[in-house]
Amino acid sequence: MSATAGASRIQRVGVVGGGQMGAGIAEVCARAGIDTVVAESDAAAARAAGERVAVSLERAVQRGKLDRISAEDALARLVFTGDLEDLADRQLVIEAVTENPDAKAEVFTALDKIVEDREAVLATNTSAIPIMRLGMATGRADRVVGLHFFNPVPVLPLVEVVSSLHTSADTVATVESFARDALGKTMVRSQDRAGFVVNALLVPYLLSAIRMAESGYASAADVDAGMELGCAHPMGPLKLADLIGLDTVAAIAESLYEEFKEPLFAPPPLLQRMVQAGLLGRKSGRGFHMYGRA
């Protein structure tokens, strides 16, 4: 299959989950001219997802990144639903629910029964969960692949493409062509290992920063200032952890530790307590720093 053929055959995309990542994925698909359906857990969550995308598009217009007509056209290509059955005719479905292996596997089992085209691709936006586990929750593991976007999806150009031992070459070619030619993204390939490329490198660094703050070695503000001003990082590690979401950081750390049994990959107690307390970073208004409520 040629790259062009792969891109042209994906005209109908579904996204499962309309949170921060799912909404961003849906937005870039709609902005690329693709018929996009976002499925949430119920009608109220679907409405919230629609509002999330509308706010993001309006922000892009106000910042001069998108013209008003293009934003309106993108919204017109989006449908938000509380019924997973509405994804039956999709050619590509991208799962973006909470970073929990059981929850994701349940979605894939349901999609396997719902999506009618047996050649359709079922992709996951997981940050760290093995693709094989999700593929084996279906009867079409050869059509299951990791398609990991980065936050904020409309801004960051990278997508990680992750194959399991069962993922077919045609599936990989299809999603790579789609991400590159339809969405204008840049791709890196990864083996099916917890954390893939980016988070396998990034998250241990974030955990080290959390341990430094936890021990009182340095304040959160000083840790971030040190890396921003001393290493020219655009954002300090604790600000970045807040942006990602401390629950997501903890989930990735748990996946890394489960796979590699490296003690430094385990989530520090402070991170676990903050997640238990609902102090998740930007999305909750408080993490290692304070924010206006999302």
For the annotated catalytic residues, the residue numbers are: 127, 148, 160, 199
The answer to whether 77 and 35 have CB atoms below 8 angstroms apart is: yes
- Pairing state between β 144-149 and 158-162: antiparallel
CA 69, CA 72: separation in Å to the nearest integer? 5
The 3-state DSSP class for residue 78 equals strand
| CA atoms in the 13 A half-sphere facing the CB of 92 | 32
H or E element that contains 159: strand 158-162
The owner of tokens 């974030």 is: 206
- Max Cα separation, the chain? 56
Burial 55-92 (b: 16+ CB within 10 A, else e): ebbeebbeeeebeeebbeebbebbbbbeebebbbebbb
The per-residue DSSP string of 1-29 comes to: --HHHHHHH--EEEEE--SHHHHHHHHHH
The answer to whether 146 and 270 have CB atoms below 8 angstroms apart is: no
Phi, psi dihedrals of residue 224, rounded to the nearest 5°: -65, -45
